[in-house]
Amino acid sequence: RELRTLELEREQLIYSLQRGDTGWDNARLDQSIVDAMVGLKTSAAYGDLTGLEDQVLSFKSLVIRRGASSAGGTADIQAKVEEIDAQRAALQAAAGQDTTPIRVDKSGSFSAVADGYEALLTPDMLSTLTVSDLTALLVRKPEAPEGAVGKLITSSTWYFTAALPVKTAERLVEGRSVKVRFSRDWSGEVSMTIERVGEEEDGKCPVVLSSSRSLADTSLLRKQTVDIIFSSTTGIRVPKKAVRDGLVTSTDPETQAEVTTRVTGVYVLTGAQSEFKQVEILADDGDFYLVRASLPDNPTELQIKKAFRAGDEVIVSSEEIYDGKVILAPR
């Protein structure tokens, strides 16, 4: 890490020397640094860490460039480069004394953990794995080989196996896919291929699933808690008290007559007024309903825009409520 930081700083200083320009627009650099700080803060606030490393490097780069722009001139920058070169040489010499290279004859992904299961759990054994075999593996406590520094993963395909109740296993068809949600050491949902459903033993069947996705997240996992998702429903969860019946007036396209229909919906706060929005109840979850916006077959752009959506402020209780009522929120 120290070498990487020094190399980054050296690159920026060399860049300034090559340009022959040691007087950047400091005001613009200062604003760029502030913008980079705001970007980091925003990503952290939303929990978006996908570009964190690039954002940090960009921020450091701007700070280094700002420091170089404040230097006394080309001679000072060159002296700083020479100082960094001396520090890099010292670090590389120190690393060479206590670092041992490890060479392998295959390419792959390195994992820093070796727990001894590598010799017990192999893809070849999965074709004959039984419920008894799996039970025996779960109680074993193997030890990592002496001197092991990690393991090399030479394939992107990984496997998950479990003993499932017969009724659950019967719903799985070899060759098809099923969604698996992990919720122990790692929280994530993966689409996995059903490789094998084994013979019944004591009311359970061994099941083997595989995937070539999320290897980086799963390579350190061993015993996990998962849910197999056969079907799912997506909607917005609202309190039952917020769901009401309302009357909607529409025009019959054939007769042009006005038709009043009783529908289900929720009242939401739009500005300072209540607005009725139609919904469809998808599921009952005790004190809540799972709902989604109810739209006609060919909705207009306005209907889509005014439809109920996540983020709407739902009115749960009111002595008298109607579409367009002015709502005075308590202060």
The per-residue pLDDT for 298 is 84
Same domain, yes or no: 79 and 153: no
SS3 141: coil
Residue 270 lies in a domain: yes
CA separation for the pair 39, 132 (Å, rounded): 53
138, burial (CB in 10 Å: exposed 0-12, middle 13-18, buried 19+): exposed
Segment among 63-67, 135-139, 254-258, 283-287 with least mean pLDDT: 63-67
Does 13 reside within a domain? yes
CB 105 within 8 A of CB 154: no
**Structure confidence by residue, pLDDT tens digits, 87-140:** 999 988 887 777 777 888 889 988 888 888 888 889 999 999 999 999 999 888
Q: In this structure, are 125 and 155 located in the same domain? A: yes
- 169 is a domain residue: yes
From 209, 229, 249, give the residue that closes a domain: 229
Q: Output the pLDDT for position 95.
A: 76
**β 243-251/258-270 pair status:** antiparallel
The answer to whether 255 and 195 are in contact (CB under 8 A) is no
Q: Within this chain, do residues 216 and 284 fall inside the same structural domain, yes or no?
A: no
Specify the higher pLDDT residue, 42 or 330.
42
Top-confidence range, 46-55, 204-213, 285-294: 204-213
In a domain, residue 72? The reply is yes
Mean predicted confidence (pLDDT) in 211-215: 91
* CA gap 245, 280 in Å, rounded: 11
Residue 313: both structure tokens together: 């402020």
The DSSP annotation for 170-233 comes to TT--TT-EEEEEEESSSEEEEEEEEEEE---BTTEEEEEEEESS-HHHHTT--S--EEEES---
Q: Which residues pair with 269 in a beta bridge?
A: 274
pLDDT digits (tens, 9 = 90+) for 133-189: 999 998 888 888 888 888 899 999 999 999 999 999 999 999 999 999 998 888 889
Are 219 and 261 within one domain?
no
Taking every pair of Cα atoms in the chain, the longest distance, rounded to a whole number of angstroms, is 91
pLDDT in tens, 270-305: 888 888 899 999 988 888 999 999 888 888 888 888
Average pLDDT score over the chain: 85
pLDDT at 317: 77
User: How many structural domains is the chain composed of?
Assistant: 3
- Residue 139, classified by CB atoms within 10 Å of its CB into exposed (0-12), middle (13-18) or buried (19+), is exposed
Is the separation of the CB atoms in 268 and 219 below 8 Å?
no
Beta strands in 62-168, from DSSP E residues, in sequence order: 109-111, 151-153, 158-165
Whose tokens are 């690393």? That residue is 95
Segment 3-12 mean pLDDT: 82
pLDDT band at 3 (very low <50, low <70, confident <90, very high): confident
Same domain, 193 and 142: yes
In a domain, 320, yes or no: no
Residues 88 and 144 in one domain: no
Q: Which domain holds residue 68?
A: 2-98
Read off the pLDDT of each residue in 212-232 and give the average, rounded to a whole number: 89
Length of the chain: 331
Question: Could you say which of 184, 214, 229 is where a domain stops?
Answer: 229
pLDDT of residue 71: 58
